């Protein structure tokens, strides 16, 4: 049996004898410190707050079950990270996190600092390491921020379930330029279930995939410091219903999609298939701030999207190989279709359609810049106003869930039917014009 260390104290307090009387403390609660190594099958309790210190490693063959409504915390300096370790093919299954929250009772992994004292990087995040394929030489890649390695040949590997799960104020810095993402999927297999996940105010990427075959849907990335959705090293899964809303003060691209660091033709290609995405920019901090940043020989399918309010470009090809994949002359296949772009940088509330953001830089390989723009404008991109109720506030993070349901006829007229295996959704963006706001009830929209 695994025993935990129980600490009865004040969540969010420093080691200060007078802390129980100070204003910076949260309300008193019983806190249990999770051990650094999870072996066997361990089930937490929703009645207990769990403190995570450093990496909590779910060992190969072990399962950590987290019930709905459970709260996990880390304090500044804890570098709090939950991590599954990959197994050994044919011998030991990968470690698993089975975390099934609900809309009414999501699972929350957050900063234990008191309201007003929280900031990006207070905690780390969640890292799943699996045995699925990637395109790294040798088939195994080490994780960012000192996380474990992932990779193998078992594309159906199972790292567990994350459902209605929120990570807040994550992205702890391990060393310069080496941070933990909000949620990292390192060669994670298709046996894993990912849905209704939020990465909120992360000091690095909200979500990042490094290879693997796992599918994901109902993803929300809010106020992150870097890219919202980052995919690399041969991820071939499906995604559907994804949303990002940037902090007006800081942030990079909605999607940063790349095949490999050196744009090789190594297989598998990074080639996810995705539909129904709403990306809202707003950062004006001098970083790359594109809706879709396509680079390093990227492939895949991106359809039924709404891209709005980005300071730079709605769609940006950063290299000739990616542009060639889009034009049909490359070694990979890149499809961009049924995408509404509504961007004109930070100009207050006067955001209007502007086709000049449909740019591919200067490297377009065998095609001219005009060719790429023409294919985007004529065949794949619709520039129109989604006419939603959202009005680009100076600060989107005041606690209210935004209404991103489009009302424009173009949101349905311009959409394509999704293929079998996806949820039926014949509309642009992540929300049904005749439906409800699926972000309500379980997501966080406060700045601190």
**172 and 298 in a common domain:** no
Look at residues 214, 247, 281 and tell me which one is the last residue of a structural domain: 214
44 vs 28: CA distance, rounded Å: 20
Q: Is residue 239 part of a domain?
A: no
Q: pLDDT at position 374, please?
A: 82
**63 and 176 in a common domain:** yes
Closest CA to 236 of 254, 213, 252, 253: 213
Q: Is residue 258 part of a domain?
A: no
Q: Is residue 430 part of a domain?
A: yes
Look at residues 214, 242, 262 and tell me which one is the last residue of a structural domain: 214
**138 and 24 in a common domain:** yes
- Rg from Cα positions in the chain: 21
Q: pLDDT at position 30, please?
A: 66
Q: pLDDT at position 365, please?
A: 59
Q: Is residue 412 part of a domain?
A: yes
314 vs 102: CA distance, rounded Å: 34
Q: What is the largest CA-CA distance in the chain?
A: 69
Range of the domain at 88: 1-214
Look at residues 214, 238, 259 and tell me which one is the last residue of a structural domain: 214
The string over 84-119, giving b where at least 16 C-beta atoms fall within 10 Å of a residue's C-beta and e elsewhere, is bbbbeeeeebbbbbbbbbeeebbbbbbbbbbeeebe
Q: pLDDT at position 409, please?
A: 87
**129 and 61 in a common domain:** yes
Phi-psi domain of 77 (left: phi exceeds 0; alpha: psi -120 through 50; beta: other)? left
Q: Is residue 290 part of a domain?
A: yes
Q: Average pLDDT for consecutive 10-residue bins of the chain (448 residues)?
A: 40 40 44 95 97 97 98 96 96 98 98 94 97 95 87 98 98 81 97 98 96 98 96 97 93 92 90 97 75 93 92 83 91 93 54 45 62 81 78 84 90 92 96 95 95
**280 and 191 in a common domain:** no
Q: Is residue 356 part of a domain?
A: yes
Q: What is the model's pTM?
A: 0.91
Q: Is residue 227 part of a domain?
A: no
**297 and 194 in a common domain:** no
Domain count, the chain: 2
Q: pLDDT at position 433, please?
A: 94
Q: Is residue 225 part of a domain?
A: no
Q: pLDDT at position 344, please?
A: 55
Spell out the alpha helix ranges (H) of 193-264.
none
Q: pLDDT at position 10, please?
A: 33
Q: pLDDT at position 366, please?
A: 63
Q: pLDDT at position 358, please?
A: 52
64, β-bridge pairs: 42, 97
**286 and 203 in a common domain:** no
411 vs 421: CA distance, rounded Å: 22
């Amino acid at each position: 049996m695994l025993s935990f260390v129980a600490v009865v104290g004040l969540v969010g307090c420093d080691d200060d004898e007078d802390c129980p009387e100070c204003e910076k403390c949260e309300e008193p609660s019983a806190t249990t410190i999770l051990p650094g190594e999870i072996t066997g099958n361990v089930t937490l309790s929703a009645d207990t707050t769990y403190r995570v210190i450093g990496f909590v490693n779910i060992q190969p063959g072990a399962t950590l079950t987290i019930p709905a409504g459970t709260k996990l915390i880390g304090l500044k300096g804890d570098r709090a990270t939950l991590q599954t370790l990959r197994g050994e093919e044919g011998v030991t299954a990968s470690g698993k996190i089975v975390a099934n929250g609900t809309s009414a009772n999501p699972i929350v992994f957050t900063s234990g600092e008191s309201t007003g004292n929280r900031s990006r990087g207070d905690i780390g995040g969640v890292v799943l390491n699996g045995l699925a394929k990637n395109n790294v030489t040798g088939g195994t890649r080490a994780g960012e921020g000192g996380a474990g390695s992932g990779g193998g040949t078992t594309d159906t590997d199972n790292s567990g379930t994350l459902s209605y799960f929120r990570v807040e104020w994550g992205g702890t810095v391990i060393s310069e330029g080496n941070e933990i993402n909000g949620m990292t999927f390192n060669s994670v297999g298709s046996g894993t279930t990912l849905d209704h996940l939020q990465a909120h105010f992360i000091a690095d990427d909200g979500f990042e995939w490094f290879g693997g075959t796992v599918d994901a849907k109902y993803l929300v990335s809010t106020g992150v410091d870097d890219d919202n959705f980052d995919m690399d090293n041969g991820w071939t899964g499906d995604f559907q219903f994804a949303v990002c809303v940037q902090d007006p003060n800081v942030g990079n691209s909605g999607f940063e999609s790349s095949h490999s660091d050196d744009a090789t033709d190594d297989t598998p290609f990074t080639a996810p298939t995705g539909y129904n995405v709403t990306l809202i920019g707003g950062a004006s901090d001098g970083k790359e701030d594109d809706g879709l940043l396509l680079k390093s020989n990227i492939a895949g399918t991106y359809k039924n999207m709404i891209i709005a309010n980005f300071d730079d470009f709605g769609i940006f090809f950063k290299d000739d190989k990616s542009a060639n994949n889009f034009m049909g002359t490359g070694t990979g296949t890149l499809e961009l279709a049924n995408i509404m772009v509504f961007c004109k940088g930070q100009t207050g509330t006067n955001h209007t359609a502007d086709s000049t953001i449909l740019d591919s830089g200067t490297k377009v390989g065998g095609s001219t810049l005009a060719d790429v723009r023409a294919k985007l404008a004529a065949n794949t991109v619709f520039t129109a106003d989604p006419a939603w109720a959202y009005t680009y506030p100076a600060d989107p993070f005041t606690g209210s869930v935004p209404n991103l349901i489009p009302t424009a006829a173009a949101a349905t007229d311009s959409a394509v039917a999704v293929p079998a295996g996806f949820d039926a959704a014949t509309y642009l963006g992540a929300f049904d014009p005749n439906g409800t706001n699926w972000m309500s009830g379980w997501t966080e929209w406060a700045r601190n």
